[in-house]
């Protein structure tokens, strides 16, 4: 038996012991808000080429730093010994392993007083040994590094730098003369591509064509470089005005993939490209395009004959994320996809320009976060979020037959002592007969004979997303409410992913209507089942969940309290101000002057006079996705004109998500007190 097989045999034996210890734990701790900050999250899982190690990024909250911090961790698979490799106050990202398995490359920062690059606080490529040691900077770009990639043999490091570029037009002299104002256009940061030889450490410019580069991938033979490019940094350019460029390093010629199938022939032109991966044959390039309100699509282009094929997905699944990968030693392209409250890993065979079989790799209920294949492609490592644990490292066979997973880590051992909520999938029918699903959390020891519970309806964002069938402790509502005696209901309403393309696209043109009926019919079902007290209900959400919170309280006065986080109040304002206006155009099915009535119906502002629910409003001061004006408009409506109890909480130095420790704590504490007072009648103290 070879060493590789012995490693996995030892691994199987040690994980059996791990499972026994987890099951034996005594659960007595009641989940609270403070527990949120003790949770470690796992991402960027990588398997070492020799099968002996795995590495990942682990994210933990740091109260002194007032934010979450990512560090690199490693496990020796045979001994199960886990080691933390980095301890900086700057989060590491974008892990890559050298082909010989000796070094970890990553993006990071180091700052020294009055220092030049690489110690000027700008992002650079660093390297550390697989078993730990000092991080050594590999680049020294004055403006920093955007992305990097090791070539197939590990001898060259390709990376994107930054360069300031200015337009030369009839007004460029005026903009240069008057530099103090900010201008709508005329200047941008473009991304030249460099190659660093890791033997002699000589650096050369590969390509600088004055383009913004969002992603790139180099073929194994280094003759083809694929890039996702736009002409400007502004995010709106990625929606519908991005291209896939193919640069030939031998001929020095650049070409663009024909975009007919994923632009003019797509359900919407406002899609963004993502996820480039070359097949080892150096000819087939896999890539993705995503849309708001419409299913994402996966393509394989052949550079030789300029052909493209779109891969067909299993019936109900929706593609998610950009981490598509060709499985080593195979003709399978693999991808994660939402699948009825789960996130599973699928692989589709592509051979001779045709799609073959598609299979799900791993059996059971999975919510897979990131994944990596071993060098021979026979095993897969992945992070997985289950019903009794947060993301942990697992492994499974990647051979043809679907296999069960083996758990390798327990990075949140404290969870083994928690009194966990009862998590289940609940199904009901919408008024039009459509079968719907949601995730229901009930208190740990609750039985229906104890009578109905107060309810929190927690609505996911997106809306092109879904609430997973897994344990969650989020500042947006999961876990703590069930721990405190509430039922918590997370409906996967029309427009959610993982329930088929029609289910997803039914929402287009029907926002503020069909999904509101979906949610309220689910609430009524829970009341009919005797689980929920219809006189004690609250609703909350963030982003599209905030938008739907606003919608629900304009349609109904049945909720005694609401928490609206980063929620759209007016669709015209959203199109005017947000950084991805294609989102609004897709759902409204046109521009504001083309679909006047749709923008009226899709806006809570239009029916704001009906709101009677005490509403707590959260917003990041610098939110570009749902700008501050929405929260201010809702607050003005309720406070100055309707005399509805309201609080506006604006978080300084925050964007669309809350990144600071004390802001997350503030939000959770406010939500809890607000709901307890207005729903349960508790005094404010």
| CA angle at 52 for the pair 109 and 401, rounded to the nearest 5° | 110
10-24, 166-180, 184-198: least confident range: 10-24
Q: Does residue 10 have a pLDDT over 60?
A: no
Q: What are phi and psi for residue 102, nearest 5 degrees?
A: -90, -25
Residue 17 pLDDT more than 90? no
Cβ 245 vs Cβ 227: under 8 Å? yes
Mean pLDDT of 471-497: 92
Instruction: Judge contact between 325 and 334, C-beta under 8 A.
Output: yes
Residue span(s) of the chain under CATH 3.40.50.1820 come to 418-678
> How confident is the model over 509-519, as a mean pLDDT?
98
Architecture of domain 418-678: 3-Layer(aba) Sandwich (3.40)
Helix H, strand E, coil C: the string for 285-337 is EEEEEEECCCCCEEEEEECCCCEEEECCCCCCCEECCCCCEECCCCCEEEEEE
With CA atoms as reference, report the closest residue to 572 among 635, 632, 630, 514: 630
Q: Is the peptide bond before 674 cis (omega within 30 degrees of 0)?
A: no
The model's confidence at residue 18, banded by pLDDT at 50, 70 and 90, is low
pLDDT bucket at 25, cuts 50 / 70 / 90: low
**Token couple for 555:** 């349609």
Tell me the pLDDT tens digit for each residue of 617-670.
Answer: 999 999 999 999 999 999 999 999 999 999 999 999 999 999 999 999 999 999
Q: Is the pLDDT of residue 479 over 90?
A: no
| Residue where the block lists tokens 């739907």 | 548
Look at residues 323, 368, 316 and name the one whose alpha carbon lies nearest to residue 342: 368
Is residue 19 scored above 50 in pLDDT? Answer: no
Q: Judge contact between 436 and 492, C-beta under 8 A.
A: yes
CA–CA separation, 539 and 490 (whole Å): 10
Nearest to 612 by CA among 576, 585, 638, 584: 638
pLDDT at 13 over 50: no
What percent of the chain has a predicted confidence (pLDDT) above 70? 96
Q: To which residue do tokens 């959610």 refer?
A: 496
**CA distances (Å), 606 to each of 43, 545, 589, 637, 648, in order?**
42, 18, 18, 11, 20
Task: Please tell me what DSSP assigns to residue 81.
Answer: E
Question: What are the tens digits of pLDDT across the range 30-54?
Answer: 999 999 999 999 999 999 998 999 9
What is the Cβ-side half-sphere exposure of residue 45, based on CA atoms within 13 angstroms? 22
pLDDT at 343: 97
CA distance 406 to 19: 9
How many whole angstroms separate alpha carbon 258 and alpha carbon 185?
A: 28
DSSP class per residue in 475-490: TTSTTHHHHTT-EEEE
Pick from 634, 509, 619: which is nearest to 573 by CA? 634
Taking the C-alpha atoms of residue 38 and residue 121, their distance in angstroms, rounded to an integer, is 28
| Strand residue runs (E) in 237-303 | 243-248, 253-256, 271-278, 284-291, 297-302
pLDDT on residue 3 = 45
Q: Which of 140, 119, 277, 143 has the alpha carbon at shortest distance from 196?
A: 140
Report the first-to-last Cα separation within the chain, whole angstroms.
67
Q: How do residues 580-602 score in pLDDT, each as one tens digit?
A: 999 999 999 999 999 999 999 99
Per residue in 532-552, pLDDT tens? 999 999 999 999 999 999 999
Read off the pLDDT of residues 409-462 as tens digits, 9 standing for 90 and up: 999 999 999 999 999 999 999 999 999 999 999 999 999 999 999 999 999 999
Let me know how many helices (H) and strands (E) the chain has, helices first.
Answer: 11, 39
The pTM is what?
0.94
In order, the DSSP letters of 435-474 are EEEEEEEE-TT--GGG--EEEEEEE-SSSS----SS----
pLDDT above 50 for 12: no
pLDDT score for 57: 98
Residue 400 sits at φ, ψ, to 5 deg, of: -60, -35
Average pLDDT of the segment spanning 365-393: 96
Q: What's the pLDDT score for residue 400?
A: 75
Q: How many Å apart are CA 320 and CA 460, to the nearest integer?
A: 15
Which pair of structure tokens corresponds to residue 54? Answer: 């795995």
Would you say 138 and 124 are in contact if contact means Cβ atoms under 8 Å apart? yes
Cross-strand partners of 457:
489, 539
Phi, psi (deg, nearest 5) at residue 279: -70, 150
Tokens representing residue 520 in the block: 């309220």
Beta bridge pairs of residue 660: 67
**Can you spell out the DSSP letters for 504-536?**
HHTTTT-TTTHHHHHHHHHHHHHHHTTSEEEEE
Helix, strand, or coil (residue 415): helix
Tell which wins on pLDDT, 159 or 321.
159
How buried is 432 (Cβ within 10 angstroms: 0-12 exposed, 13-18 middle, 19+ buried)? exposed
pLDDT digits (tens, 9 = 90+) for 226-244: 999 999 999 999 999 999 9
Structure tokens at 553: 């309280």
pLDDT band at 474 (very low <50, low <70, confident <90, very high): confident
Share of the chain above pLDDT 90, in %: 91
């Amino acid at each position: 038996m070879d060493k590789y097989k012995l490693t996995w045999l030892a691994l199987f034996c040690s994980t059996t012991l791990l499972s026994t210890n987890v099951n034996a734990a005594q659960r007595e701790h009641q989940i609270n808000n403070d527990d949120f900050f003790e949770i470690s999250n796992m991402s960027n899982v990588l398997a070492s080429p020799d099968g002996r190690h795995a590495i990942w990024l682990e994210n933990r909250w740091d109260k002194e730093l007032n934010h979450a911090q990512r560090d690199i961790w490693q496990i020796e698979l045979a001994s199960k010994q886990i080691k933390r490799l980095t301890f900086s106050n700057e989060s590491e990202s974008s892990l890559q392993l050298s082909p010989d398995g000796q070094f970890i490359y990553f993006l990071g920062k180091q700052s020294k007083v009055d220092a030049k690059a690489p110690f000027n606080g700008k992002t650079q490529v660093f390297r550390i040994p697989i078993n730990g040691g000092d991080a050594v900077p590999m680049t020294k770009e004055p403006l920093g590094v955007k992305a990097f990639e090791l070539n197939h043999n590990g001898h060259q490091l390709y990376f994107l730098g930054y360069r300031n570029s200015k337009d030369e037009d009839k007004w460029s002299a005026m903009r240069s003369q008057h530099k103090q104002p900010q201008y709508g256009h005329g200047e941008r940061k473009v991304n030249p591509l460099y190659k660093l030889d890791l033997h002699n450490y000589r650096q050369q410019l590969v390509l600088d064509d004055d383009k913004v580069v969002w992603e790139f991938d180099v073929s194994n033979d280094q003759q083809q470089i694929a890039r996702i490019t736009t002409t400007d940094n502004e995010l709106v350019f990625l929606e519908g005005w991005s291209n896939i460029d193919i640069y030939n390093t031998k001929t020095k010629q650049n070409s663009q993939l024909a975009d007919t199938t994923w632009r003019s022939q797509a359900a919407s032109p406002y899609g963004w490209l993502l996820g480039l991966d070359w097949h080892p044959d150096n000819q087939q390039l896999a890539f993705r395009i995503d849309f708001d309100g419409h299913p994402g699509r996966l393509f394989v282009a052949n550079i030789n004959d300029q052909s493209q094929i779109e891969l067909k997905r299993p019936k109900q699944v929706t593609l998610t994320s950009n981490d598509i990968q060709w499985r080593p030693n195979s003709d399978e392209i693999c991808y994660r996809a939402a699948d009825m409250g789960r996130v599973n890993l699928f692989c589709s065979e592509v051979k001779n320009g045709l799609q073959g079989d598609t299979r799900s790799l791993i059996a059971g209920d999975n919510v897979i976060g990131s994944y990596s294949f071993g060098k021979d492609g026979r095993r897969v490592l992945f992070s997985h979020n289950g019903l009794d644990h947060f993301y942990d490292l697992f492994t499974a066979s990647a051979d043809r037959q679907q296999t069960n997973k083996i758990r390798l880590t327990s990075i949140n051992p404290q969870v083994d002592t928690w009194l966990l909520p009862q998590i289940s999938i609940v199904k009901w029918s919408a008024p039009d007969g459509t079968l719907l699903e949601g995730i229901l959390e009930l208190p740990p020891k609750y039985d229906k004979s104890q009578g109905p519970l107060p309810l929190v309806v927690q609505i996911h964002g997106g809306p092109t997303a879904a609430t997973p069938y897994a344990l969650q402790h989020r500042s947006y509502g999961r876990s703590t409410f069930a721990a405190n005696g509430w039922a918590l209901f997370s409906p996967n309403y029309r427009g959610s992913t993982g329930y088929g393309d029609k289910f997803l696209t039914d929402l287009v043109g029907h926002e503020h209507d069909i999904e509101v009926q979906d949610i309220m019919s689910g609430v009524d079902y829970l009341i009919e089942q005797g689980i929920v007290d219809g006189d004690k209900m609250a609703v909350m959400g963030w982003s599209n969940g905030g938008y739907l919170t606003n919608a629900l309280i304009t349609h109904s006065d049945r909720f005694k309290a609401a928490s609206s986080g980063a929620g759209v109040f007016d669709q015209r304002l959203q199109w005017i101000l947000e950084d991805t206006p294609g989102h609004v155009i897709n759902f409204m099915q046109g521009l504001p002057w083309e679909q006047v009535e749709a923008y009226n119906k899709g806006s809570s502002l239009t029916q704001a006079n009906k709101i009677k629910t005490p509403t707590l409003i959260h917003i990041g001061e610098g939110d570009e996705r749902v700008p501050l004006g929405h929260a201010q408009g809702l607050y003005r409506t309720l406070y100055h004109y309707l005399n509805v109890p309201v609080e506006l909480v604006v978080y300084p130095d925050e964007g669309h998500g809350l990144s600071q420790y004390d802001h997350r704590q503030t939000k959770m504490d406010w939500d809890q007190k607000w709901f307890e007072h207005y729903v349960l009648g508790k005094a404010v103290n």
